[in-house]
Structure 1
Amino acid sequence: MPQGIRSRVSSFENLNGVKGAGGQTNKTAKGNAFESLAAGQTKSLLNISSAGIIQRMWVTVNDRSPAMLRALRLRMYWDGSDKPAVDVPLGDFFCAGLGRPVAFQSALFSDPEGRSFNSYVPMPFKTGAKVTLTNESKSDLSLLFFDIDYIIMDKPQPGMLYFHACWNRAIRSTLGKDFELLPRVNGRGRFLGVNVGVNVDAAYGHTWWGEGEVKMYIDGDTTYPTINGTGAEDYIGTGWGEGAFTNQYQGCSVADTTKNQYAFYRFHIPDAIYFNHDFKATIQEIGGGSDTEVKSLAARGVPLTPVSVAGYVNGFTRLMDNPVALTDSKFPKGWINFYRIDDYSATAYFYLDKPVSNLKPLAPVEERVK
């Protein structure tokens, strides 16, 4: 058994896990299992001064609508910092992409029956930890339950890194511009993974949205990345489209062809991604469709730029190197990959050698809930 370590749990029954102080209300008979969170209110879920590690978090609320899960703002601060290392919507943090919780289990997050949220991400700190939740919606939240399981220790782990998470969204991007899964972050650390939500633009009909490649720019990469994937579904280990599935390190929790919504995740645990100076991860907004479909979209003025064709007869054509107009009679017949514009959002998880990063604060609630 390790020396100098004590186990604690913070909940409304014993906020901050004070030793020997749990369950004092209602003569110990479940007097404070939950509290409400009024519109505009912030509540502290943990505020301690010590070295330690958050080992598990569990949260559930009575209103689990996408709007509420995007409006609840989760922030975590390490070692007395004024700027949060984690600043994300509650649902997205727990891998409920697009604010749509489903029953699933992974190596880092789980939702046993689609009604609660669990995290098993280790979050170490040297001198203190603070976790808050703010209701930025216009509606009161009647029922908020939580517990944060952590250990405190006499001294921090040597060589520890701080956990960070950020949320990003591009509702309407520029044609041909890659979406930033994680904007460039400065420092030494590890990219732990990402969950991504896509609201597919119905203007593109039944064409496929997910041909974009994931790119990772490591330690000074500029125009070209060091790590370059081959497609959205390829990144999460599947192929030829993307249906719903959930595995330990990758999955697609939402594949809704009726609402044109997809949510998927990838955790780089067995395949660690480290960086020494800086890091950025992006995904291209590229889709695909038959030449007939794509020409029809272009004729209707739907924004797109063809980038390549997997020809039925003439093999593969790189249109950025050898441009051919869609209206040209010599344009090859086949599957066309093309730049398009969809609504992407992402929560990126990473470790850093400092308790604060250079990233911007969370976007306003109006942008999150659109």
Structure 2
Amino acid sequence: MSPLRCLLACAALALAGSASAQSLYQYKPQKTGWLSPENRNGEPGRGALENHGAKGHAFDSIAAGGVLELGRIDGEGVIRRVWMTVDDRSPRMLRALRLQMFWDGADTPAVDVPLGDFFGVALEAPHRFENALFASPEGRSFIATVPMPFRRGARVVLRNEGGVPLNMVFYDIDFTRETVPDDALYFHASWRRENPTKLGQDMRLMPRVTGRGRFLGTSVAVLGNPAYQDTWGGEGEVKVFLDGDTDHPTLAGTGSEDYLGSGWGLGPYVQRYQGAPIADKKTNHWLFYRLHVPDPIMFERECEVRLQQIGGGPRKQVMALKKAGVPLQPVTLDPGGREHFIKLLEGGKIDPAAANAPDGWLNYYRQDDIAATAYYYLDSSGQAAGTTLAPVAERVAGTSTVKP
């Protein structure tokens, strides 16, 4: 870098840093509130009323089938941070607990998801991680810092659909009372599971939602099908259908690990906007996320996000699995290099099972158990069509009851 370019870059960084620091000491005409068991509605002067102010109501309990309103806010503002922990952090309980958020008096929740999956925790006991919007600092608590604006009010509810009591739930929901911009969108989160996925069909990470909005990202939990042995299950491409796309998307990636910023398989790692807190070849458990913060995905009318269900492995191994009756469909064969790449679905190319077929990497359609949480903003305060949460039995099937 030339001395002049270096000087300009350093000056830009200094200006950005000073602007960021300056915002910390500038006064803003906004009030701060905390929803917690000690002040459920965040009212002025109404915190710590019990036990003469000495930690009289630090947690709540929820009976089996019970509902706990974590709090409500009247008026205009933005939820800035949600922190929570519970005494039963087994994968089954975290899937059975149902977190709901309602904006501006809507009858249906804009957020309606399993508690653990919402915070990016699934499959196994909570693990330590932190990204730009979610965290579990020591694997014992859950944090979200996604800004969630509302104009007339907000209500947060936790439902225990686990069949056993939840003895302890601690939480605080931090918000600011402030004027919300006219172009502010409402935060939404939806969850769906396919167990198993359908052979040859994409998994919908986010069902098609209509309106003006922004796809913020996704957290995906995969229970790999052991029938495919040690072949790689992450060859599927992420596709984003925008504003009238039908058969083909506007945005298309090159593979699951590529979408996460990695390549050539997937190991465990955690970064601000992408990561895989769980990538375990022995258990075939995979948990990963991608947050579109620096690379926004906006839509004017509609959006749908899909993940192809494609795996890959050496040709001989994959064709031996197929011969043994494992459900799969060959997709492409790569003996090496673009000029030799074979698109098996276009027909008339080659039979990958033939004795004279070239060896190479064979991609194939497969079936796994996949659950996905989608995060997005919409111009509608109510629940998006087609995003109703699955019954608890479907959510918890196959999950562990072991508490950490």
Aligned-residue Cα RMSD (Å) equals: 1.3
Output the CA distance in 1 between the equivalents of 2:119 and 2:250. Answer: 29
Output the CA distance in 2 between the equivalents of 1:359 and 1:353. Answer: 16
Greater CA deviation, 345-354 or 322-331?
322-331
**Does the 8 A contact of 2:214 with 2:378 survive in 1?**
yes
Residue 362 of structure 2: aligned partner: 336
Letter paired with 2:353: T
Structure with higher Rg: it is 2
**Does the 8 A contact of 1:212 with 1:287 survive in 2?**
yes
Residue by residue, what CA displacement relative to the aligned partner does 1:44-69 show, whole Å, maximum 9, x if unpaired?
A: 11212201100000000011110000
Give yes or no for the alignment of 1:103 onto 2:131. no
**Does the 8 A contact of 1:70 with 1:99 survive in 2?**
no
Residue 227 of structure 1: aligned partner: 251
Residue 351 of structure 1: aligned partner: 377
Moved over 4 A (4+): 1-4
Output the CA distance in 2 between the equivalents of 1:174 and 1:321. Answer: 21
Q: Report sequence identity in percent.
A: 49
Residue 190 of structure 1: aligned partner: 214
Letter paired with 2:150: F
TM-score, length basis structure 1: 0.97
**Does the 8 A contact of 1:252 with 1:264 survive in 2?**
yes
Output the CA distance in 1 between the equivalents of 2:125 and 2:213. Answer: 30
Secondary structure of 2:350's partner?
coil
Output the CA distance in 2 between the equivalents of 1:129 and 1:331. Answer: 61
Residue 34 of structure 1: aligned partner: 59
Residue 76 of structure 2: aligned partner: 51
Output the CA distance in 2 between the equivalents of 1:307 and 1:320. Answer: 6
Greater CA deviation, 10-19 or 320-329?
320-329
Output the CA distance in 2 between the equivalents of 1:335 and 1:3. Answer: 58
Give yes or no for the alignment of 1:161 onto 2:185. yes
Residue by residue, what CA displacement relative to the aligned partner does 1:232-270 show, whole Å, maximum 9, x if unpaired?
A: 000010011111000000000111222211000000000
Residue 369 of structure 1: aligned partner: 396
Output the CA distance in 1 between the equivalents of 2:76 and 2:29. Answer: 11
Any residues of structure 2 matched to 1:132-171 within 5 Å, and which?
Answer: 132-153=157-178, 155-171=179-195
Residue 3 of structure 2: aligned partner: none
Residue 94 of structure 1: aligned partner: 119
Question: What residue ranges of structure 1 are gaps of 5+ in the alignment?
Answer: none
Cα deviation for residue 324 of structure 1 reads 2.6
Residue 265 of structure 2: aligned partner: 241
Cα deviation for residue 327 of structure 1 reads 2.7
More strand by share: 1
Output the CA distance in 1 between the equivalents of 2:199 and 2:82. Answer: 39
Output the CA distance in 2 between the equivalents of 1:202 and 1:348. Answer: 26
2:387 to 347, 360, 364: 360
Residue 268 of structure 1: aligned partner: 292
Any residues of structure 2 matched to 1:307-322 within 5 Å, and which?
Answer: 307-312=331-336, 315-322=340-347
Residue 6 of structure 1: aligned partner: 31
Greater CA deviation, 126-135 or 249-258?
249-258
Give yes or no for the alignment of 1:204 onto 2:260. no
Residue by residue, what CA displacement relative to the aligned partner does 1:3-62 show, whole Å, maximum 9, x if unpaired?
A: 542100000011111100110111111111111111101001121220110000000001
Cα deviation for residue 320 of structure 1 reads 1.1
TM-score, length basis structure 2: 0.89
Residue 13 of structure 2: aligned partner: none
Give yes or no for the alignment of 1:215 onto 2:242. no
Greater CA deviation, 159-168 or 92-101?
92-101
